[in-house]
Structure 1
Amino acid sequence: MVLTPEVDATRGDFIEGADDFTTPADRFSANLVWLGEEELIHSRSYYLINGSSMVAATITTIRHRIDINNGEHESARTLAMNEIGLVEIATDSPIALTKYSENRISGNFVIVDRVSLNTIGAGMVVHTLRRASNITKHDYEINKATRSQQKGQRAKVIWMTGLSGSGKSTIANALEKELFTKGIHSYVLDGDNLRLGLNKDLGFTKEDRAENVRRVAEVGKLMVDAGLVVIVALVSPFKVDRDHAREIFAFLALGRITTSSPTLNSPWLTVPARPRKFSALEIS
């Protein structure tokens, strides 16, 4: 097949006739059957697979749970194994999906755990959710590279994770002081401090912890774009959420930073446990 004009069509892309038009979307509503042994955690990143297409996806909202005995709608914050609910899903990149009622092939999908790669959900698209048409991404001439060049440094993130009370804030403080003496523009995003403002509405459930990590990663991404060296000190106990944060920073070069004390060779640091504030929490 030869396309005119030339189009880069990869595995999973749709090729349609002139009279057909499927609009790719990154937000949609769906009926979801949860198959995982662990409950659904909204704000956590999963893989969504439709046909041969796979994208990172987050269940942003659970509209209601459906009682399979009488069909009634019940309010719900999560879904347990074999429960069905109407949810809203956001994907990291647009995907060509249609209503399941119109096309069963392009209207169905599965949800896959990012760590175990087990299928933990199956869904049927109800309809796509369109973003406001007046929202447009603007690319500015002054970018991360030019801001970093102005400061004479390489923008990056150093992410420290560990149990509460394990010394993350202490190490972050020492590291920032060392960077400051070397003339490096840096900033610490401390988990406890952020819970006094940006994340004051979040608790300590798995769902809230996932959202906590996502917000901090997005703020850190903006600060790195400003040309700063960002130090994150955050209890981020679940590997899947840390991996999602890595993907948010995927465009960054996470190189080695050497300081006199301490020396950090990795953007991810698990420090030895000290007396814990939350003894029930474990790092996975």
Structure 2
Amino acid sequence: MNTKKKLEDEIDFRDLLKNPLRLFGWVFPLFIVILIGLGVYYVKNLSLISLNEQPVSAPDSTNVKKEVLLKLGGISPAVDLAVVKNPTKEFIDKGKGLYDSNCKSCHGDTGMGDGAAGAMLNPKPRNLQTADGWSNGRTIDMLYKTLQEGIVQNGMAAYEFLSPEDRMAIIAYTRTFAQYPEIKDEELSSLDQTYQLSKGTVVPSTIPIANAEKKLVEENQLLVKKVNDAKQFLAVSKTNANVELIMKSAKNVNKVFSSFLNMQNITAEGFALLVAANPINYGFNPVVSRYSKEELTQIYNYLKTVTM
């Protein structure tokens, strides 16, 4: 009887409210386990915690942005397709020099995709010696397409800044790494038809993105100034037939002036056709679509005067 009462006294939790220190005996082992667990976690992660660093990860090579270079356009020299089909030693040597300066850092000395710069890329650079897994294929036309356009999803940059002949020279050299498909006349013909290689290729001028953005801002500021000047001229002009016609016709004066300023060297006839077909698009009221040719010409002449 005494033993039972003593046991009840030991586990009487209601008594713990009166004497909380008795609870320590129950939670002490649990506290020790938690403390040991935290200690083990701290020790395992000590290097990262103390150095406050993140584990190294390979950069995504498909998310690399390439700056556009300042380049004057023109017509590149024609490509000798006979040399492409049967490359000379000089042509292959030229390709090697271009490969070394443009491709070797990623694809490696012998095209195995083991270049120093490619070590951290994800996905890895193409092994040019293997025949499997090519996105565009290994035929001459597909190799040229790859250099011309790149393969974004694989991180392969486009080499459109090289001349067509230089790209062909690189291809001629890389084809020495392994046994590539024979160059067929129909492939060369299709390639020539697509890119006009034997006639010379038109190369557009390019400017760096930062320069282009600056130019756009400057042009927009100039456009805003011209629009404001035209609005001010309209505001201070004495009421006459031209002013009344503009005020009656314009749904959005800002858009009318800015649209007209963007119609560079447009004739009165061209202006009339555009505005009559879609007046709202150029800031006019829909009723303008029913204007006579004379009224539209009158609007054209007035806009030309106030925006000069």
TM-score range with shorter-chain normalisation?
under 0.3
Write 1 or 2 for the structure with the bigger share of strand: 1
TM-score, structure 2 normalization: 0.21
Please tell me whether Structure 1 or Structure 2 has the larger radius of gyration of its CA atoms: 2
TM-score calculated relative to the size of structure 1 = 0.23
